Amino acid sequence: MNHKKWLDKTVQMAVDNVKNGGGPFAAIVVKDGKIIGSGTNLVHQHNDPSAHAELLAIREACAELGSTNLSSAILYASGEPCPMCLGAAYWASVGNIYYACSKNEALQHANFSNPLAAYFPDQEKAPEDRQIPFIQISTNGALTPFHEWNKRNNE
């Protein structure tokens, strides 16, 4: 498989997206030599912080296959996926991920007004030490949705 060819395509998609007012990221999902999902960064056009290229490509690929299992597919991204996109790739069991530009290269060469908009520098910190602290509070019934899920799926 020609990984460079697919990465060159994502880079060109990202360039075109910037020219059309979008962000500098693009992604495709390829299965058996065919693109089954594609996306470009539309965060600002849609005022949607989840409109990342990888997420859009994964959504489209899953819809195309009628499945959330992309284990036989490859995700190609113009930039190293952020934690949100990486999480989606794990949930979809993407077979492999190839990317053209590292997050460090992107941060060094792009003039992001807010570095957090591109990558989350405190992702390795303990939940309570993050810029937006994560605080768990024990509540009655917190596990009830999971019990219901199990009941539904074991019937």
Contact 13, 47 (CB under 8 A): no
Cα dihedral 5, 9, 12, 18 in deg (nearest 10)? -150
Query: Could you confirm whether 124 is annotated as catalytic?
Result: no
Per-residue pLDDT of 96-112, as tens digits, reads 999 998 877 777 766 65
Measured CA to CA, the distance from residue 56 to residue 40 in angstroms comes to: 7
Provide the β-strand partners of residue 97: 75
Measured CA to CA, the distance from residue 110 to residue 24 in angstroms comes to: 9
- Strand 96-101 and strand 26-31: the pairing is unpaired
Point out the least confidently predicted range of 4-8, 93-97, 110-114: 110-114
- Rounded to 5°, the CA angle 57-92-101 comes to 50
Domain spans of the chain?
A: 3-121
Point out the least confidently predicted range of 29-33, 76-80, 113-117: 113-117
Alpha helices in 36-136 (DSSP H): 43-46, 53-65, 83-91, 103-109
pTM of the model as a whole:
0.81
The CATH number of domain 3-121 is 2.120.10.30: no
Percent of the chain with pLDDT over 70: 81
